Structure 1
Amino acid sequence: MNQETAAPRTPLHQFTVPLSATRRGARLAWLLAAEQLRSWEIPLDPARLIVAELATNAAVHGRVPGRSFRLGLTVTACGVLRIEVTDTRGERLPTRRSAPVEPAESGYGLLLVEELADRWGVRSGPAPCKAVWAELDLVPPRNFDDVKEALR
């Protein structure tokens, strides 16, 4: 997990939507992300799995009654898809598990995100919010012009 405060890279595509902090809102995040990725002609997986985990965490662990969470998707000119879910429980930061976990029905979401994403982390603020983000490299690093052409 990384802490990040740097400005995001130059976006080619950007999508953001507020959603209710409920399981229904988390499901809608998954559906909207899949549709947006299709419209950008970006492979659905593993991105929609990451969206599902981050949105579910926001609805379950980041929920504040009467407040929503925000889903953001950004594709940069460098060929990176950034998935970001912002909730209003800034005091509850996710942590890495250093020890093996006991078998359970839940609690594996961020382990899955860590395994699927090329990078992930948490960005604090603005108060009282936090954003959990994950990035996927859409194309292997090559010539910058090749990357821009592949994303058009």
Structure 2
Amino acid sequence: MTYHQLADEAKPPLAPVRQLTLRFSGTRRGARLARRLAVQQFTEWTGLPYDSDPARAVALVTAELASNAVRHGSLPGRDFRLAVLLLPDRFRVEVTDTRPERLPPPVTPEPVDEASGRGLLLVQAHADSWGCTIRDTYTKTVWAEV
């Protein structure tokens, strides 16, 4: 499991076999719909059952990234974007929000006594790799690969 703060420009990304991108409202309902859509596309594209371990990992990773975009990365009246990509050897979830100045904090394995704050630890546990990419001054994309 790796974390990359910025995109590794030296390594060209694999061309997606399939890709879907949609915008969702920056609300809890939008985050829930994004999770459901990601799992639906994953099961459709891979043929794996909805209750398989990889589908559950996609659901958890998408739920965390989308809820973080709503909670920490949204501005009033701004949507977030979900992109799901089926690559030759993995499934990639990308969530783009409108707060590039708010980067995800480094994940530490120490227990947190707070009621929240463990989402990225879960992403790290269920994703093969994850990170954050800033391509312009208006948005950031947090991604994870399962």
Common fold by TM > 0.5: yes
**Superposition TM-score, scaled by structure 1 size:** 0.83
What is the correspondence of 1:40-119 to structure 2 with a 5 Å cutoff?
Answer: 40=45, 41-42=47-48, 43-77=54-88, 79-98=89-108, 100-119=110-129
Superposed CA RMSD in Å reads 1.5
Identity, % of aligned positions: 44
Deviation (angstroms), 1:125: 2.4
Aligned position for 1:4? 7
Alignment-mate amino acid for residue 139 of structure 2: C
Aligned position for 1:38? 43
Segments of structure 2 that go 5 or more residues without pairing to the other structure are 49-53
The count of corresponding residues between Structure 1 and Structure 2 is: 135
Aligned mates of 1:54, 1:120 — CA distance in 2: 10
Tell me: higher relative CO, structure 1 or 2? Use CA pairs within 8 A at least 6 residues apart: 2
Aligned mates of 2:107, 2:16 — CA distance in 1: 32
Structure (1 or 2) with the greater strand fraction: 1
Q: CA-to-partner distance for each residue in 1:66-90, whole Å, 9 max, x for gaps?
A: 110001111112x111111000000
Aligned position for 1:24? 29
* SS at structure 1 position matched to 2:56: coil
* SS at structure 2 position matched to 1:85: strand
The structure with the larger Rg is 1
39 and 98 in structure 1: CA distance in 2 versus 1, 3 angstrom threshold = closer
Alignment-mate amino acid for residue 82 of structure 1: R
Aligned mates of 1:56, 1:99 — CA distance in 2: 21
Q: Is the 8 A contact 2:107 2:120 kept in 1?
A: no
**Superposition TM-score, scaled by structure 2 size:** 0.86
5 and 66 in structure 1: CA distance in 2 versus 1, 3 angstrom threshold = farther
Deviation (angstroms), 1:4: 1.2
